[in-house]
Amino acid sequence: MKTPSLYSKEIMKHFKHPKNIGIIKDADGIGESGNIVCGDIMKIYIKVKNNKIADIKAECFGCIVAIANTSLLTTMVKGMNLKDALEVTKDDIVKKLGGVPPLKYHCSLLAIDALSEAIYNYYKKNNIPIQEKLKDKHERIQQSIESIEKRAK
C-alpha cells in the first residue's frame, strides 16, 4: 500500500528535478534570504536585459518545500519584466504548487524575498530609482535577517 504524501505532485516534481539551479558568475543582481534557525537559505542570481529577467539561477539549502518553491519561482519569473516579477506573491507560488502544509508557507515568502533582494541589488548597482514599496521590503528583509541571527547566537 502506498503511503499518501504530505506534498503535492508539483512540489515533488520541483524537489526531485529542480529548475534553474546554479550560479550566474556575472549576475546583474544577487539576492539572498533565509532563516538560519529553520535552515532554509535561498540565493538568487539574475541577468537583466531590456528590463526583463533574461536568466535566473538559484542556490537553495533547505527542506523539500524550500527547494520546490525556489525552483518554481525561477520558472515563473524567467522572461518577466522586473515590475511584474516583483508582483509575484507567496500565494501565487503556493497555488501553482498545489498547496503546501501550513508550517511550510514561510518557505514561499523566503523565495520571494530572495528575488526581491536580487532586483533591489540590480537597481542599486545601476543607480535605478527604487520604489518605496521595494525599499520597505528590503528594510523588512534585512531587519528579519538581523533579528534571526541575534536569536541564533
- Catalytic residue annotation: 38, 107
Which residue is it, cell 505532485? 9
* Cβ proximity of 75 and 84 under 8 Å: no
Report the run of H or E that residue 40 belongs to, with start and end: strand 40-49
Kind and range of the H or E run holding 53: strand 52-61
Whose CA is closest to 125, among 23, 46, 54?
A: 46
Our CA angle for 13, 18, 22, nearest 5°, is 180
Which segments of 42-102 does DSSP mark as H helices, in order? 64-77, 82-87, 90-96
Angle at 113 between CA 101 and CA 119, to 5 degrees: 145
